[in-house]
Amino acid sequence: MKKSLIALAFGTLALGMAEFVMMGILPDIARELGVTIPMAGHLISAYALGVCIGAPAVVLIARRRPLKQILLILVAMIIAGNVCAALSPGYWTLFAMRLVSGLPHGAFFGVGSIVAERVADRGHKTEAVSIMIVGMTVANLFGVPLGTYISNVLTWRLAFGMVGVWGAVALLLVAWWVPRIPALPDTGLRGQFRFLRHLAPWLVIGSTMVGNGGIFCWYSYVNPFMARVAGFPEHAMTLIIMLAGFGMLAGNLIGGRFSDRFTPERVVRFTQAFVCAALLSLFFLGHHGWIALVLMTLLTGSLFALSSPQQLLMLENSRGSEMLGAASAQVAFNLGNALGAYFGGLPMDHGLSYRYATLPGAGFALLGFLMLVVYCRKYPRRRDPAAQEVSAGWEPASSG
């Protein structure tokens, strides 16, 4: 395995801990800061808002710089944002620091995806991107459960401090192992947005946002759901979060491998349909503990089975503006994260059980599936792999 991809995976591991550790420590933060769990859930949305602001801002400011230099700056931002979050004295300060922590997220994925695609072996581009993303899944398998345990036993502040320490490790590895890749050709400020004139990238962005948002409607509240609906004791949450992380790890690797074999579009379309069905099943059967565990694992696996093929589709549909295009996938992902945390919390705000968070999620997932159906029918993938490289006239590459 290429060292450069391992270095990128260490960076996404830090991002994964920063983003997903909130799901396991929401009750602890709410208790210490004196807010409700749905209000603490807005800290998830704050991170997602930072992603949406930071991704286009960093791309537009740094688009002329070498890719490795941009990565180093972004990892430094990860360290600073999470250390400051650990030291936050109150809710609104933590909210602001969560927003700051999210600023480098989308841009790191955007630049990292381009680097991964450039160093990948022929015919293994999606797999290379999935190796970069594997850091996010390892974070959920080990980092997030460890953060949850530390939060329960000591304090949630150490969970954010842990992210800062890991960010320092990622900074060193990116400096040592990522090769020097020159800056992308500068197409100008207007040229960066040219790909958005076409319908294809909007369909990918839309399906990513509402599709992933459907899962986050429920997963944002996985801790109270598993405790109050499925009936698991509080001390079991660390192992449950580890099981969710295992699902993410397996889903990411399977999604990358299958996308190279069967095309990214077929993988995301099938997976999105399954997500809708699984969320509805969780609504009706989630009170059975073992069924809830199985469905949770399959849903978190689906979340990351979608990730690398979605990232590659955005790269394919933004030639000439790849940095902003790849970052746009992460903006869409985190907008879905924010929308999911908000809409998933609405039923509880009105006094309903946590199992009702799955219903808006199923609706979002269905809408994402329909967008993918339109995309696949309107933009069938060409048989010649070389033809997938977008020409000067720009044509989206997609599948049936």
Radius of gyration, CA atoms only, the chain: 20
Work out the pLDDT band at 385, boundaries 50, 70, 90: very low
Are 103 and 51 within 8 A, CB to CB? yes
pLDDT digits (tens, 9 = 90+) for 260-313: 788 888 899 999 999 999 999 999 999 999 999 999 999 999 988 988 888 888
Query: Could you tell me what percent of the chain has a pLDDT over 70?
Result: 92
pLDDT over threshold 70, residue 394? no
- Contacts for 128 with CB less than 8 Å, ≥ 6 apart: 2, 5, 116, 117, 119, 120, 121
Q: Measure the CA–CA gap between 35 and 228, rounded to whole angstroms.
A: 19
Q: What is the pLDDT of residue 386?
A: 39
Greater model confidence, 350 or 45: 350
Q: May I ask the CATH architecture of the domain 3-180+188-380?
A: Up-down Bundle (1.20)
Distance CA 352, CA 346 (A): 9
At residue 77, the pLDDT reads 92
- 396 has pLDDT over 80: no
Torsion angle defined by CA atoms of residues 268, 23, 219 and 71, in that order, rounded to the nearest 10 degrees:
-10
Helix axes 322-349, 42-62, angle to 10 degrees: 170
pLDDT digits (tens, 9 = 90+) for 109-123: 878 878 887 777 676
Burial label, 327 (beta-carbon count in 10 A; 0-12, 13-18, 19+):
buried
pLDDT at 256: 80
How confident is the model over 225-264, as pLDDT tens digits?
Answer: 999 999 998 788 878 878 888 898 899 888 888 887 888 8
Domain positions in the chain: 3-180+188-380
Taking only the tens place, the pLDDT of each residue in 57-102 is 877 777 678 888 889 999 999 999 999 999 988 899 999 999 999 8
Q: Which amino acid is at 72?
A: L
Residue 1 pLDDT level (bands cut at 50, 70, 90): low
- What mean pLDDT is reported for the chain? 84
pLDDT per residue over 121-166, tens digit each? 676 677 777 788 888 778 877 887 788 888 888 888 999 999 999 9
Per-residue burial over 210-232, b = 16 or more CB atoms within 10 Å of its CB, e = otherwise: bbbbbbbbbbbbbbbbbbebbeb
pLDDT value at 399 more than 80: no
* Most confident residue range from 33-37, 274-278, 329-333: 274-278
- Choose the weakest-confidence range: 143-147, 169-173, 354-358: 143-147
**What was the pLDDT predicted at 261?**
81
